[in-house]
Amino acid sequence: MIHKSTIDRKEKKQFHDSNDDNGYIQLLHSGEEYFLRLKKVIQNAQKEIHLQTYIFEDDETGNDIAGCLKEAAQRNVKVYVLLDAYGSAALPDSFVQDLIHQGVFIRFFSPLFSLNNFYIGRRMHHKVLVSDGKLALIGGINIANKYHGNLESEPWLDYAVQLDCPAAEDLQKLCRDYFFKKGSSKKIEPIMHSAGRALVGIIQNDWLKNKTEVCDAYTNAIIRAKKEIVILGSYFLPGRKMSKALKKASNRGVKITIILAGISDVPLVRRATEHLYSTFLHDHIQIYEWETSVLHGKAAVVDNQWSTIGSFNLNSLSCYGSIEMNVEIYSSGFAEALRSDFSKVLNECREITESKLKQRASILNSLADWLSYQAIRFTMHLLTFLPHIRALKNYR
């Protein structure tokens, strides 16, 4: 294992290491590919499974995965499921009780109502599965039909990474800590593990617990960028620090491409993002919109060397409110694979230029975008502030 602070001097050696005995990483896509792999990992587990996700729905996909979890529990695998109380609020009690009856340990993070609290700002936003501390899936894909797709509709565009390396053991420890409420507020330097020719680390964002690793990783990667930055992002509303870093990178000649949602499950957020288009374009940042399905992914590649995939959105809610988890990867091979995938996405996107933006602009549209931006910013600040009031009350 390697501490992140030593990456720069060891990076070149690791990228050219031909010994693949220390594991591997693999890019996965939403849809049938991801859910077949998810089922296979669950079915092959022998001792312990941790599944943590924001949304688990009572639909065909959810029932399929639930069936695999119950089968694993019946063969004496310890199965721990942590769901967010808000994201999975629609899950019927009968569904949950059936899992418990079949031997699955299940817990909901931050129930919306308790004896002395009502808050929704601090959410558990992970999308993680770990098997036996050896194999893990981590990304932005929830358990629901919309991420799987069918003959009538495309799956929401999203990504995950399969880890077969020592980083999976780190991920299992983190999942155990969250499930058994043993999380620490101590900020620990992320550990980077070898996986074939790559360096892989699990990074977290939980501002209330003094963990800003994902936000810092994005900012540092943008600051260090020399040639190219490609970001694929849903609910994209970067704060001042991130926006400033992107602007400076563009001004020093870095090519920046941002792939955004042309179709969103939260139209108000999409309008709020559109309010920022003119600023991005003025700073020579290229903007593309994906319109084939809902874009839900959260991924980035910088200089075909550094990449990240996970649950973290570039907005204040992910920075300061929710509990997020990403994988960060230092590997030219993996980065090139992800960049190549982005190129395929770009070929199916609509580019937004200043002339096209003017064509669809009107006083009413501009006003609606501005109002949406102000409303979303206010809401995000409110949701991120509420849990902090609760924390201050607890520590007085």
pLDDT in tens, the chain (396 residues): 554 443 443 333 333 333 455 789 999 999 999 999 999 999 999 999 999 999 999 999 999 999 999 999 999 999 999 999 989 999 999 999 999 999 999 999 986 655 444 455 678 999 999 999 999 999 999 999 999 998 889 999 999 999 999 999 999 999 999 999 876 555 667 789 999 889 999 999 998 888 999 999 999 999 999 999 999 999 998 988 999 999 999 999 999 999 999 998 877 777 787 878 888 999 999 999 999 999 999 999 999 999 999 999 998 888 888 899 999 999 999 999 999 999 999 999 999 987 777 766 666 776 666 676 666 676 666 666 555 444 444 433
Q: What is the pLDDT of residue 268?
A: 77
E-strand stretches of the chain: 2-3, 24-29, 48-53, 78-84, 105-109, 127-131, 135-139, 159-164, 191-195, 198-206, 211-212, 228-233, 255-261, 286-290, 298-302, 306-310, 324-330, 349-352
Give whole-number Cα distances, 340 to 6, 230, 300, 334, 335, in Å: 28, 11, 12, 10, 8
Q: What is the pLDDT of residue 6?
A: 39
Pairing of strands 191-195, 198-206: antiparallel
For 70, residues 6+ apart whose C-beta sits below 8 A from its C-beta are: 98, 99, 102, 103, 104
Residue type, 109: F
Other CB atoms within 10 A of residue 40 CB: 13
CA angle 59, 63, 64 (to 5 degrees): 120
Task: Tell me the chain's radius of gyration from C-alpha atoms.
Answer: 21
Q: What is the pLDDT of residue 142?
A: 98
CA distance 27 to 162: 7
CA distance 124 to 322: 6
Residues in the chain: 396
Other CB atoms within 10 A of residue 21 CB: 7
Residue type, 88: S
Q: Topology of domain 22-355, per CATH?
A: Endonuclease; Chain A (3.30.870)
Query: What does the domain layout of the chain look like in residue ranges?
Result: 22-355
Question: The whole model's pTM is what?
Answer: 0.87
Q: Contact 302/219 with Cβ under 8 angstroms?
A: no
Q: What is the pLDDT of residue 376?
A: 66
